[in-house]
Amino acid sequence: MAMIPSSYFYLVDIETDEPLAIFSAADCRTYAELHALEARIRANHDVDDVISGLALRDSVSAPLPPEQARHVMRQQARRSRNL
């Protein structure tokens, strides 16, 4: 079973409030690295485009329950294998 990162960002479908993907921030050692990771995720997934229907949240201000985080990570891994 995959370990939940100690800190992470996650994408959410704003219509259903369903978490879609988790991005570990555990390797970020500085605020600048954390900010750069957040900016990359926002750019790669068009989070700031209203039409995308996505929001970006973080585990500090809005952590997912552990079982929900594991479920999202399992789904994400399955999607990665199917690419």
| Integer CA distances (angstroms), 54 to 47, 51, 75, in order | 5, 8, 17
47 pLDDT higher than 60: yes
User: pLDDT value at position 80?
Assistant: 84
Rg (CA), the chain: 13
Mean pLDDT, all residues of the chain: 93
User: pLDDT value at position 34?
Assistant: 95
Q: If you average pLDDT over residues 34-49, what whole number do you get?
A: 96
CB 12 within 8 A of CB 21: no
Note the pTM of the prediction, 2 decimals.
Answer: 0.89
Strands (E), 6-78: 8-13, 18-24, 54-58
Q: If you average pLDDT over residues 64-70, what whole number do you get?
A: 95
User: pLDDT value at position 2?
Assistant: 66
User: pLDDT value at position 81?
Assistant: 85
Classify 76 as helix, strand or coil.
helix
